Amino acid sequence: MIVPGESKPVAVRNELRTRQTSLRKVLGSRAFGRGFTAYRAGEALDPDAFHSINEQWSYERGRMFAAWYAGALRINRRLSHDAMVAASDALRHGALI
């Protein structure tokens, strides 16, 4: 990482543990759904919606995805196939992180 005022790159230690997850698991989470629904309802971002950092990230991802995708997230309580395809596209295009 380049730090202003430094002439050489500075190594940054990863301080948070990360693990892989599936797109289906993220889209199916309660926090993602809440963010998706909140965005569609025109609600302002709630930066403290969840105490867990992972849930807060999922909430914010849900909001981002709702801005990208105009369709339904769920049909009959199940994740929509179209939502899964759109989420994959959004991920590939950098609209969902």
Q: Which pTM does this prediction carry?
A: 0.78
Give pLDDT tens digits for 4-46: 444 555 555 566 677 788 899 999 999 999 999 999 999 999 9
Integer Cα distance of 44 and 85 in angstroms = 27
Question: For position 48, what pLDDT does the model report?
Answer: 92
Distant-in-sequence, close-in-space partners of 9: CB < 8 Å, separation ≥ 6: 1, 2
Identify each DSSP E strand in the chain by its residue range.
74-75, 78-79
Handedness of CA 14, 16, 17, 18 (dihedral sign): negative
Nearest Cα to 36, choosing from 14, 13, 68?
Answer: 68
Higher pLDDT, 93 or 41: 41
